[in-house]
Each structure stands twice: as structure tokens, then as C-alpha cells.
Amino acid sequence: MATTVVGAFNEFNDDRVKPSTATWAKVYERRDAVVNVIRAAFPSSNDISYQSHRIIGSLGRKTACNPVDDIDLMVHLSVDQELWDRKYRYNSSDFLYRIRKVLNEYSPVRKIGSRGQAVRFFYADGLSVDVAPVEKYDSGNYAIPDGSGNWLTTNPVTHETYLDKCNGALDGDLKRIIRFAKRWNKAHSSRLTSFHLEMMVARTYATMGNNSRTALRLFFDYNLYNLSVDDPAGFSGDLSTYLNQAGRTAVNESLRSARNRVDLALDAENRGDHREAIRLWRIILGNDFPTYG
């Protein structure tokens, strides 16, 4: 609980939204356990051999929110050229099936399954690991299974670099606002995908102070009727294309409602009514936002 809006936001960020040091330690421990299995399953002597790994997704970009329940792990597996040309170049499904089959043989984890573009390690504690096996092109980009038997070109490193550059230009405040925006999205039907939302937040700001309340107000206002944003790596084009017209309308209504409610919360804070301001922010950002008191 908090008695000021600033205190409520600090508590929300530090204790309820941002993953703790203990959570990160668990993430790295789980990553290392899975990588050890992959190293053993695909040694350098194999026609498919382990090369490197990297945590990607929101954990890789350091924009993840609590609770952390899955780890996206990109694993570069080098395939012998003859095997690649003969079997996998035009069939990522067979590639993914072989990876899952071999990992099932080597892993002590009882349940391993496929999840579209990845092989998932399920754990009893709920922290699963999605292994995205990739091939690396000479360009430095990666080929990842698309879930339909074909390959997608991607480069999570480019995404991380882009977001780090934006965050640095804003004195390290951008990722905090991204996490708050994710909590707003989760509290209001989760209509936006995580990556799309992150890129919307990143393109919103030329400057940003340390006032999270006004920064969120700008996010809601700037992106109202402005949902299209391109993949900064240049691979996926407009990231909003998964939204149909009904979805776009619903998102815009959520943005409008949030902006208008922020205006009321800012007015309440300015006149010293922190109880009312905190009540409004709790509606905007969800029930994990602290209550007054």
C-alpha cells in the first residue's frame, strides 16, 4: 500500500512488475540446465551440432514482467550442408521434429513437446523453456521454423540493439514504461502482442522525463488510431497486421479510455487527492497496482 502516487508507482515497479534478482537467478539456472542437455545431444561430431545460445523475447530485451513463466531460448545448431540441402532447406517441420526427438532421448525432463516454432521443456514449477532452433545465414540473420514447415528470417539481436539504443537515449526510462504498458494491456484483455506493444512504446518518445504518469498518458494518446509500426529489423513489416478491424476498434477504445482516465488521475494528483489518483491508476494498470493506505 502507498499514500502517494509516486510511492505507488515505485512499489508497483520494484515489487510487483520488474522481475527480482531471485527470478533472474532461476532463469539463468534453468537456461544452463537446458543448454547442457542440448550440448550433449548435439556434439560437434554430429551432422547437427550445437554452436551457441541466447535468451530472446522479452527476457532477452529486459522488458519482461512478473510472473515469469517461460524462457525463450534461441539455439544456433549448425547443419551439415549436404543434409541441409537435401532435407531441411525447404522443410523446417522435419528439422524441428528431429530436434525434439533427440532432446527427448537426452533430457531428464519428462515432458517435451513442440510449440509452433519451438521445442518446449515443461517443468513442474511452471517455468518452461521454449527452445527455438535456428540456422545462421552468412548475413548474420537467422532462419527459424515458422510453424508451417517453412522458414522465417529473423534477428533478435537487432531487436535488442534497437531497444537498448532507444532506452539509452531516454536515460534508461523506456523499459520501465514498456513494463507498465504491458500491465495495462494485460489488465484490458491482452489484445496486443508483446513485441508489437514494445515497438509501439519505443517509437512514442523523442524525450522522456522521470514522470511515469505523464509518459503513460503520452503513450495512450500518441498510439490512439496509430497502431501500425514496422519491425525495426525489417523482416516482418507492419507488426499490427494480426489485428482485424474489430480488434483495432477494441484496442483504440482501450487506449482512449486509458488516456481519459489518466487525465482524471493526473487532475486528482495535482489537487492532492492521492487516494483517488491511486484508485484510477489501479483501474488502468490492474489489480496488482497498490491500493491507498
User: What percent of the chain has a predicted confidence (pLDDT) above 90?
Assistant: 94
Using 50, 70 and 90 to split pLDDT, how confident is the model at 75? very high
Q: Residue 103 corresponds to which cell in the numbers above?
A: 532432446
- pLDDT tops 80 at residue 112: no
The pLDDT of residue 188 is 97
Question: What residue has cell string 532461476?
Answer: 26
- pLDDT tops 90 at residue 102: yes
Q: What are the tens digits of pLDDT across the range 151-172?
A: 999 999 999 999 999 999 999 9
The pLDDT of residue 110 is 62
User: What percent of the chain has a predicted confidence (pLDDT) above 70?
Assistant: 99
Q: What are the tens digits of pLDDT across the range 115-140?
A: 678 999 999 999 999 999 999 999 99
Among 179, 160, 157, 156, residue whose Cα is nearest residue 168: 160
Q: Residue 56 corresponds to which cell in the numbers above?
A: 530472446
Question: What residue has cell string 525447404?
Answer: 90
> What is the spatial distance between Cα 213 and Cα 36, in angstroms, rounded to a whole number?
44
- pLDDT tops 90 at residue 1: no
What mean pLDDT is predicted for residues 247-251?
Answer: 98
Radius of gyration of the chain from its Cα atoms, rounded to whole angstroms: 21
The pLDDT of residue 95 is 95
* Contact present, 66 and 16 (Cβ < 8 Å): yes
Beta carbons within 10 angstroms of residue 50's beta carbon: 19
- pLDDT tops 70 at residue 280: yes
Strands 151-154 and 142-145 turn out to be antiparallel
Average pLDDT of the chain to the nearest whole number = 96
> What is the spatial distance between Cα 277 and Cα 5, in angstroms, rounded to a whole number?
7
What mean pLDDT is predicted for residues 10-19?
Answer: 97
Using 50, 70 and 90 to split pLDDT, how confident is the model at 101? very high
What mean pLDDT is predicted for residues 82-110?
Answer: 92
Using 50, 70 and 90 to split pLDDT, how confident is the model at 51? very high
- pLDDT tops 70 at residue 174: yes
Q: What are the tens digits of pLDDT across the range 181-197?
A: 999 999 999 999 999 99
Among 3, 2, 5, residue whose Cα is nearest residue 269: 5
pTM of the entire structure?
A: 0.95
Q: What are the tens digits of pLDDT across the range 193-240?
A: 999 999 999 999 999 988 999 999 999 999 999 999 999 999 999 999
- pLDDT tops 90 at residue 28: yes
